[in-house]
A and B are shown apart, each in its own frame.
Chain A
Amino acid sequence: MLRNRFGKVVAGAAAGAMLLAAAACGGGDTTEGAPSAAPGTDAPAASKVKVGLAYDIGGRGDQSFNDSAAAGLDKAVAELGVEINELEAGNGEAESAKEERLRLLASGGFNPVIAVGFAYSQSVAKVAAEFPDTKFAIVDDEANKLPNVSNLVFAEEQGSFLVGAAAALKSTKGDIGFVGGVEVPLIKKFQAGFEAGAKAVKPDIKIQAKYLTQPPDFSGFGDPAKGKTAAEGMFDAGADVVYQAAGGSGAGVFEAAKAAGGMAIGVDSDQAKTADPTVADVIITSMLKKVDVAVFDFIKSYTTNSVVAGSKVYDLKAGGVDYSTTGGKVDDIKAQLDEYKAKISSGEITVPKE
């Protein structure tokens, strides 16, 4: 009897954990349902274009990746007068929730539909096949090629190369660190580029690397406490510059840099601008990934009827990735960084992807 109840409690705890995951997707779906922006009036040619966009975990307001996509969408609303509907993703949601979100947009007459983030890889492939007349775009993924899917991908390794070089040039201890959110192929590209860039400057530099969680646990993109602990460990072990590609956990990395008197490098958007002013001074530069450019370009190509299916790579040459100079912390090494930039653009340096 007693043992039975004990087992029941334990089973209950496990069931609770699973239900929590299920609950997370429930929360995501019920948020915004109606188009959240009025259609423009001064662009008659595009006034019927209804753009649907599905965010990755974090959504609008993450001051990073998703906000960048939102910026592109906002620009399209302002300049092209399109009508939009944005849907948010939930933490730890099931694959079916993603499919349902895309299906909701496509069946609601939204065309084109943009999925932000590699998490949508499988669901886009499935839903795009169900709606052959709708144009889909997926950011950060080129695993699935369909006639109505555009894969908007970035050469993160090239941008990371530049900030890696910046880290090595700025480091006085010859010891730098990399904090990744979740060990997935996409984030490994950041690490590979960062390490290559640092080694190009200083071949014997010591590079510490840590991923906060392993897939399928994606909490590493949203756990600042873990980011802080990992970065503290790196600073304690002798690093003086840490680059984060950890989404929402990155705030913890900046906190640790501030406490340790070290330097940090931001990711995706210009984080010296978006981070809190009290920690912004530790951010020497950020690897810019211009998702806004890709999203806007894609919507624009739709309004001019020139959508191209398949991969479109936004690299350094195309202005898809770059490094930021806000705060003036890398002004002294700008010449060297721009030299690397020219070499990568011309193909003289090939940056490894893993």
Chain B
Amino acid sequence: MTTTATAAPAAAPPARKFKLTWQVLLLGLLALLFLLSVARVLTGANDITSGGAIGAALMAAVPIGLAGLGGLWSERAGVVNIGLEGIMILGTWFGAWGAIVTGNPWVGVLAGAVGGLVGAALHAVATVTFGVDHVVSGVALNILGLGVTKYLSTLVFAEMSGGGDTQSPRIPAMTTVSLPWIGGPLQELEAKHWFFLSDLAGVLRGLTQNVSLFTLLGVLLVPLTFWLLWRTAFGLRLRSVGERPVAAESLGVNVYFYKYVAVLASGVFAGLGGAFLAIVAAGTYREGQTGGRGFIGLATVIFGNWRPGGLAAGAGLFGYTDALQLRQGGTSVHALLLVVGLLLVAVAIWQLVKQQRSRAALLTGIAAIAVLVVFAVTDTIPEQFTSFTPHLTTLLVLSLASQRLRMPAADGLPYRRGQAK
């Protein structure tokens, strides 16, 4: 997995010496697991690295990540897609419908993708062909997605037994796969609650046991996107359209065509995200079940600096913290406080020793102490706070991480064919 490689050399600022290779990434992840393990042993919050929590995190991350990929494709070609939420809603409805009518969840997956495609086609026609403001068109798409599915539900699901105006009958379950032979031993190892080893076992179990094939597909679309957009001529042209459409056109690139392809792909991804939510994560269609996940997906695009690896990291972080707060809210989030505190201490030391930024180190140190004090004086986090853990964590990472976010240069700008002349 080299999807999280740094930005292309041309775009990277000269001051940046640090290069994220897969070895560094692996080391970082192991260090994070080590920290989590320390927190787990000290607090007894065994759920933070349990196989169940990791599995649930994956389940929460995939629909957000798919919506994010949708946003990435579209914005890389210079079309802002606020309509992801509406496309996702179409995906949930058509995904559920396809699966229920045929009895085969994979038909639902396909139907969800097609539903998303149709929604995105509207966005593409409006923004690319007619030059409508991207935000206006996207908002219209959100309204449309909600209204259309509502109408279709009363027509279709209300007639089915077990369905209603606002929900579908149960969707036939998708088969899950497991890596053979290791499930049992991993579970035993996890149950021993040993330092680090059990945590590793929990993570591996969550990632390898009872994973639906759709989840695998969703995860694999991240490296696929990276390969397509950054390693092929097609991808280069698509991105050039989002950076300088005028220059691309002067070199003979059909700008409209690439914009269309990108927005349609965006619809397929977000539609798949919706279908995943209905078929795998919930097992039923329910009006309003997307609950803003399309917007969160859009946020992961910004979080990930318009790169697939960063986007996946953002979706993973959001999914993980959301799963933790939903499963064992108070205790797990309390243990996370310790992790955050320790991380802040590490950052402070880094700033002081390696970067010689004593004022920044002081501020980070104060924040670390504040977090650790809160951790020490409480036993559990009140329910009122745990529910926004995912949002807070994401915000925290964004504020600490490099502020050099760079969106595609022509993102959201109107473009008319031949405007360079």
In the complex, chain A residues whose CB is within 8 Å of the CB of B6: none
1/0 contact string of A191-233 vs chain B (CB within 8 Å): 0000000000000000000111110010100111110111011
Say yes or no: is A88 at the interface (Cβ < 8 Å to chain B).
yes
Say yes or no: is A333 at the interface (Cβ < 8 Å to chain B).
no
In the assembled complex, how far is the CB of residue B329 from the closest CB belonging to chain A, in whole angstroms? Answer: 6
The one of B134, B150, B281, B409 in contact with A2, judged by C-beta atoms closer than 8 angstroms, is B409
In the assembled complex, how far is the CB of residue B252 from the closest CB belonging to chain A, in whole angstroms? Answer: 27
Count chain A residues whose beta carbon lies closer than 8 angstroms to a beta carbon of B: 62
Say yes or no: is A308 at the interface (Cβ < 8 Å to chain B).
no
In the complex, chain A residues whose CB is within 8 Å of the CB of B142: 16, 19-20, 23
Say yes or no: is A252 at the interface (Cβ < 8 Å to chain B).
yes
State whether B407 touches A6 (Cβ < 8 A): yes
State whether B281 touches A225 (Cβ < 8 A): yes
In the assembled complex, how far is the CB of residue A60 from the closest CB belonging to chain B, in whole angstroms? Answer: 5
**Which residue of B is nearest A222, CB measured?**
B288
State whether A9 touches B150 (Cβ < 8 A): no
State whether A230 touches B47 (Cβ < 8 A): no
Given the interface contacts A214-B387, A219-B292, A222-B287, does A15 sit within 8 Å of B327 by beta carbon?
Answer: no
User: Roughly how many angstroms separate A152 CA and B218 CA in the complex, as a whole number?
Assistant: 48
State whether B59 touches A251 (Cβ < 8 A): no
State whether A226 touches B158 (Cβ < 8 A): no
In the assembled complex, how far is the CB of residue B347 from the closest CB belonging to chain A, in whole angstroms? Answer: 25
Given the interface contacts A16-B82, A60-B165, A63-B164, does A229 sit within 8 Å of B170 by beta carbon?
Answer: no
In the complex, chain A residues whose CB is within 8 Å of the CB of B323: 229, 233
In the assembled complex, how far is the CB of residue A222 from the closest CB belonging to chain B, in whole angstroms? Answer: 5
Say yes or no: is B411 at the interface (Cβ < 8 Å to chain A).
yes
**Which residue of B is nearest A60, CB measured?**
B165
Say yes or no: is A236 at the interface (Cβ < 8 Å to chain B).
yes
Say yes or no: is A83 at the interface (Cβ < 8 Å to chain B).
no
State which residues 220-270 of A face B: CB under 8 Å: 222-226, 228-230, 232-234, 236-237, 248-249, 251-252, 255
The one of B56, B164, B166, B407 in contact with A9, judged by C-beta atoms closer than 8 angstroms, is B407
Say yes or no: is A40 at the interface (Cβ < 8 Å to chain B).
no
State whether B164 touches A27 (Cβ < 8 A): no
The one of A27, A233, A255 in contact with B327, judged by C-beta atoms closer than 8 angstroms, is A233
In the complex, chain A residues whose CB is within 8 Å of the CB of B80: 9, 12
Say yes or no: is A276 at the interface (Cβ < 8 Å to chain B).
yes
State which residues 1-26 of A face B: CB under 8 Å: 2, 5-6, 8-10, 12-13, 15-17, 19-20, 23-24, 26
**Which residue of A is nearest B284, CB measured?**
A251
Given the interface contacts A211-B383, A219-B291, A224-B289, does A6 sit within 8 Å of B135 by beta carbon?
Answer: no
In the complex, chain B residues whose CB is within 8 Å of the CB of A60: 164-165
User: Roughly how many angstroms separate A251 CA and B169 CA in the complex, as a whole number?
Assistant: 10
In the complex, chain B residues whose CB is within 8 Å of the CB of A225: 59-60, 277, 281-282, 289
In the assembled complex, how far is the CB of residue A9 from the closest CB belonging to chain B, in whole angstroms? Answer: 6
Count chain B residues whose beta carbon lies closer than 8 angstroms to a beta carbon of A: 62
State whether A61 touches B167 (Cβ < 8 A): yes
In the complex, chain B residues whose CB is within 8 Å of the CB of A222: 166, 286-289, 291
Binds A, one of B10-18, B36-44, B294-302, B353-361: B294-302
State whether A210 touches B329 (Cβ < 8 A): yes
State which residues 393-417 of B face A: CB under 8 Å: 405-407, 409, 411-413
In the complex, chain B residues whose CB is within 8 Å of the CB of A277: 162
In the complex, chain B residues whose CB is within 8 Å of the CB of A234: 327
Interface centre among B56, B291, B329, B405 (most CB of A within 10 A): B291
State whether B139 touches A15 (Cβ < 8 A): yes
Given the interface contacts A210-B326, A252-B282, does A62 sit within 8 Å of B164 by beta carbon?
Answer: yes
User: Roughly how many angstroms separate A279 CA and B169 CA in the complex, as a whole number?
Assistant: 11
State whether B288 touches A219 (Cβ < 8 A): yes
Interface centre among B134, B277, B282, B295 (most CB of A within 10 A): B282
In the assembled complex, how far is the CB of residue A320 from the closest CB belonging to chain B, in whole angstroms? Answer: 24
State whether A229 touches B327 (Cβ < 8 A): yes
Given the interface contacts A13-B82, A23-B146, A63-B167, does A5 sit within 8 Å of B286 by beta carbon?
Answer: no
Say yes or no: is A92 at the interface (Cβ < 8 Å to chain B).
yes
Interface centre among B277, B329, B405 (most CB of A within 10 A): B329
In the complex, chain B residues whose CB is within 8 Å of the CB of A30: 147
User: Roughly how many angstroms separate A141 CA and B306 CA in the complex, as a whole number?
Assistant: 48
The one of A17, A61, A91 in contact with B288, judged by C-beta atoms closer than 8 angstroms, is A91
User: Roughly how many angstroms separate A182 CA and B287 CA in the complex, as a whole number?
Assistant: 17
In the assembled complex, how far is the CB of residue A231 from the closest CB belonging to chain B, in whole angstroms? Answer: 9
Say yes or no: is A281 at the interface (Cβ < 8 Å to chain B).
no
State whether A213 touches B387 (Cβ < 8 A): yes
In the complex, chain A residues whose CB is within 8 Å of the CB of B409: 2
Say yes or no: is A59 at the interface (Cβ < 8 Å to chain B).
yes
State which residues 191-235 of B face A: CB under 8 Å: none
In the assembled complex, how far is the CB of residue A12 from the closest CB belonging to chain B, in whole angstroms? Answer: 4
**Which residue of B is nearest A208, CB measured?**
B328
User: Roughly how many angstroms separate A236 CA and B51 CA in the complex, as a whole number?
Assistant: 10
State whether B411 touches A276 (Cβ < 8 A): no
**Which residue of B is nearest A61, CB measured?**
B164
State whether B295 touches A59 (Cβ < 8 A): no
Say yes or no: is A142 at the interface (Cβ < 8 Å to chain B).
no
State whether A251 touches B167 (Cβ < 8 A): yes
Q: Give 5 nearest A-B pairs by CB, closest first.
A: A61-B164, A233-B327, A276-B170, A61-B165, A224-B282
Told that A9-B411, A232-B52, A233-B323 touch, could you supply 17 new A-B pairs with CB distance under 8 A?
A9-B302, A16-B139, A20-B146, A27-B147, A57-B288, A60-B164, A63-B164, A91-B288, A183-B384, A214-B384, A222-B166, A223-B291, A225-B289, A236-B327, A252-B284, A255-B283, A274-B162
Q: Could you list 29 A-B pairs, sorted by A, with CB under 8 Å?
A: A5-B412, A13-B82, A13-B295, A20-B295, A23-B139, A23-B143, A24-B288, A61-B157, A88-B165, A91-B288, A92-B288, A211-B387, A213-B387, A217-B387, A219-B291, A219-B292, A225-B281, A225-B282, A228-B281, A229-B59, A229-B326, A229-B327, A233-B53, A236-B47, A237-B327, A251-B283, A252-B283, A276-B169, A277-B162
